[in-house]
């Protein structure tokens, strides 16, 4: 455990809420669980434009970006965030999406650069394990 958290506290995670969606229960629970697990967590707060999220990611030089969308606007918002971060020069980032995402949209999100989509019912442990295995070792 101590070894895991020693690794984890070098990993910075940005939890982001793009768009007008106000459903922040999941984002906050996950931010807190990741912090409790030892990661360094930044939460953007609500109603962020993709540009604001890109800026936060660059500023904090994050390893992981978790984008939470429950409004159905993920197909429009997620690619904007990912492209923005990449074109700002931050290339080695693990992109995760969480929320109410219909299965038929998974492929499009993955094509846009999302590594994993977590839908309701996913356990916190699963998400933590995924980040442990897949966060870039910068």
Partner 1 sequence: MIFRRGISIDLTSNSSYHAPMANDPKAISELRKSWDERMLASLKKVPERAVRFTTLSDMEVPLLCTPDDLDRIGFDFEKDLGFPGEYPYTRGVQYNMYRGKLWTMRQFAGFSSPAETNKRFKLLLEKGQTGLSTAFDMPTLMGYDCDSSMALGEVGKCGVSVSSIEDMEELFAGIPLDQVTTSMTINGPAIVILAMYYAMAEKQGVPREKVRGTLQNDILKEYIAQKEWLFPIEPAVKCVIDTIEYGTKHYPNWNTVSISGYHIREAGATAVQELAFTLADGMAYVEESMKRGMDVDDFAPRLSFFFDVHNDFFEEIAKFRAARRIWARMMKERYGAKSPKSWMLRTHAQTAGVSLTAQQPMNNVVRVAVQAMAGVLGGVNSLHTNSMDETLALPTDDAVLVALRTQQVIAEESGIANFADPLGGSYLVEYLTNKVESEALEYIKRIDEMGGMIKAVENGYPQAEIGNSAYHFQRQLEKKEKIMVGVNLYQMVEKKRSMETLYIDRAVEKQQADKLRALKARRNAGAVTESLQAVKVAAEKGLNLMPSIIDAVKVYATLQEVCDTLRGVYGTYREEGKF
What is the rounded distance in angstroms from the CA atom of residue 116 to the CA atom of residue 131?
10
Buried b (16+ CB within 10 A) or exposed e, 15-34: bbbbbebeebebbeebbebb
At 97 the three-state DSSP class reads: strand
Q: Are 100 and 120 a contacting pair, CB within 8 Å?
A: yes
Q: With binding defined as CB under 8 A, does residue 59 bind partner 1?
A: no
Q: With binding defined as CB under 8 A, does residue 19 bind partner 1?
A: yes
Q: With binding defined as CB under 8 A, does residue 90 bind partner 1?
A: no
State which of residues 11, 13, 27, 109 lies at the interface with partner 1 (CB under 8 A): 27
CB of 33 to partner 1, least distance (A): 7
Q: Given the rule CB under 8 A, which residues bind partner 1?
A: 15, 19-25, 27-29, 31-33, 35, 41-47, 49, 71-77, 100, 102-103, 119-121, 123-125
């Amino acid at each position: 455990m101590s070894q895991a958290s020693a690794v984890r506290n070098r990993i910075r995670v940005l939890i982001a809420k793009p768009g007008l969606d106000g459903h922040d229960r999941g984002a906050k629970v996950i931010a807190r669980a990741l912090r409790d697990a030892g990661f360094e967590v930044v939460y953007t707060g609500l109603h962020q434009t993709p540009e604001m999220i890109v800026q936060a990611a660059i500023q904090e030089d994050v390893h992981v970006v978790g984008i939470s969308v429950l409004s159905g606007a993920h197909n429009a918002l997620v690619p904007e965030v990912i492209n923005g971060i990449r074109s700002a020069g931050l290339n080695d980032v693990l992109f995760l999406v969480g929320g109410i995402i219909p299965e038929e949209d998974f492929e499009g999100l993955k094509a846009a650069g999302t590594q994993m989509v977590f839908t309701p019912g996913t356990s916190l442990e699963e998400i933590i394990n995924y980040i442990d295995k897949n966060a870039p070792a910068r």
